Amino acid sequence: MLNSLRTKLTLSMLITSLAAISVMALITPWLLEQRFISEAKDVHFKRFVRAIEEFRQEHGEWGGPQSALLINQYLTTRQPHSASSPGRRPPVPTTSLADNFRFVLADQQGYIFLPFFEFELGQQLSAEQIEQASPLLSGGELVGYALSGGELPLTEQDKSYLMIQSRSMLIGAAAGLAVTLLLSLTMGSQLVKHMRALTRAAIEMSKGNLNQRVQVEGKDEVALLAREFNRMAQELSNTYAELKASNETIKAQAEALQELSLRDELTGLHNRRYFNQQFRMLHHQAIRYQDTLALALGDIDNFKQINDRFSHQIGDAVLKQVAILMQDEIRDADILCRYGGEEFVILMAHTDKHQAEGLVDRVRAKVEAWPWEKLAKDLQVTISFGISDKLDSDLGHSMLVEADNRLYQAKDLGRNRVCV
């Protein structure tokens, strides 16, 4: 289950949200309190400084122990004493807002005349302390310095105010995180949906279905990936189509070459090599299935004389015409080849020598009857055949020998005949 991208995304978002809420719950109240106290100190100190400047304008006494007394009296009579909360309470700029938080005053040379804690009476402020102090002005003239020190304790009211503030912030943050979580989950499930579509398409492609496309939405990284995937799929598909086409061409060319190597150029019949292949196969099957097979060897009679008397070209034309006549006469299942020179061979499956004799004799008669004067005046052509159906387990050797012997017999008996 943890292998699922969706689960991983959900878990990581959940952990991040919980961590963020926990950190906020721990740190926010403390930060808020620190900030609140610092603001309160600042506000009180500014008001104190203003009150002191007003005192300075009203009184001549300044810088001695007497003036510290007068200042305290002035401030006490000017405003009632109470604890503080900036902006929500009346300002109380006395020299002390609480036991721990007080103000310190020094004259223009930095000698303290209103002391507090480590700031002792008559002690001179260091350059660093002067740097941090607020300069007191009267009529544009520097008359002294004011500093604040100690901790400002919070009232119960301040504390409950801060608590409400912290809670509100936490609730707001939690709501924000919940919305973020929801949005992340929605986006995560969209991402998972697209990744699944891409994975499905890639798996289909690996099975060989190259025509895969995925939907592209938007312009983000996933859309970019989907677009690139589609482009790659298209390229792969094109390359495959080109490869397939060129493979088919090569295959067709190879087949054509193979066919050419098995054909006789002059007559267009299959050649002796083709005959050897077919004869081996048919002979083997006939023996195995105890079937019959007949082989007829044909030889044009006195072909040498035809060449000599009528020319070699006429001889060639005779060979072509005999091939046509034989091809027309034999059955589709029979195999006719040019065996060599003026010799032809016919292979007849499921046929014994007596059945073959009838067919071959029709061929012989057709050759004899053809009007050879069309090729040359006084030209006559006949053909002799020897037939065998002898099936011995010798790869057809005895069948060929017997057919050849019968052919010689036909020649000896005066040619233009079929011997079985």
Ligand X SMILES: Nc1nc2c(ncn2[C@@H]2O[C@H](COP(=O)(O)OP(=O)(O)OP(=O)(O)O)[C@@H](O)[C@H]2O)c(=O)[nH]1
Is residue 411 near ligand X by the rule CB under 6 A?
Answer: yes
Give the rounded distance of the alpha carbon of 21 from its chain centre: 38
Check if the beta carbon of residue 293 is closer than 8 Å to that of residue 349. yes
Task: Report if residue 299 touches ligand X, rule: CB under 6 A.
Answer: yes
Q: Tell whether residue 402 is a contact of ligand X (CB under 6 A).
A: no
Q: Which two tokens stand for residue 402?
A: 């017997």
- The answer to the question of residue 92 lying near ligand X (CB under 6 A) is no
CB of 364 to ligand X, least distance (A): 13
Task: Indicate which residue of 131, 151, 342, 368 is catalytic.
Answer: 342
| Number of residues engaging ligand X in binding (CB under 6 A) | 17
* CB distance 387 to 344 below 8 Å: no
CB of 320 to ligand X, least distance (A): 10
Q: What is the per-residue binding string for ligand X in 306-325, x denoting contact by CB under 6 A? A: -x----x--xx--x------
From residue 351 to residue 370, the character string flagging contacts with ligand X as x (rule: CB under 6 A) and all else as - is --------------------
Concatenated DSSP letters for 64-105?
SHHHHHHHHHHHHHHS------TTTS----SSBSSSS-EEEE
- Assess 386 for contact with ligand X (CB under 6 A): no
Return all residues near 109 (Cβ < 8 A) that are at least 6 apart.
Answer: 124
Please report, as residue ranges, which positions from 320 to 349 form the binding site for ligand X (by CB under 6 A): 341-342
Residue 16 or 302: which CB sits closer to ligand X?
Answer: 302
Judged by CB under 6 A, the residue of 165, 302, 355, 405 near ligand X is: 302
- Candidates 198-206, 223-231, 298-306, 394-402: pick the segment binding ligand X (CB under 6 A): 298-306
| Entry field: residues in the chain | 420
47 makes contact with ligand X (CB under 6 A):
no
Q: Which of 391, 337, 334 is nearest to 358 (CA)?
A: 334
User: Does 235 participate in catalysis according to the annotation?
Assistant: no
In whole angstroms, what is the distance from residue 47 CA to residue 96 CA? 12
Phi-psi region for residue 292, left (φ > 0), alpha (ψ -120 to 50) or beta? Answer: beta
Amino acid at 397: H
Site membership for ligand X, residue 264 (CB under 6 A) = no
In the complex, the residues that contact ligand X under the rule CB under 6 A are: 266, 299-305, 307, 312, 315-316, 319, 341-342, 411, 415
- Known catalytic residues are 342
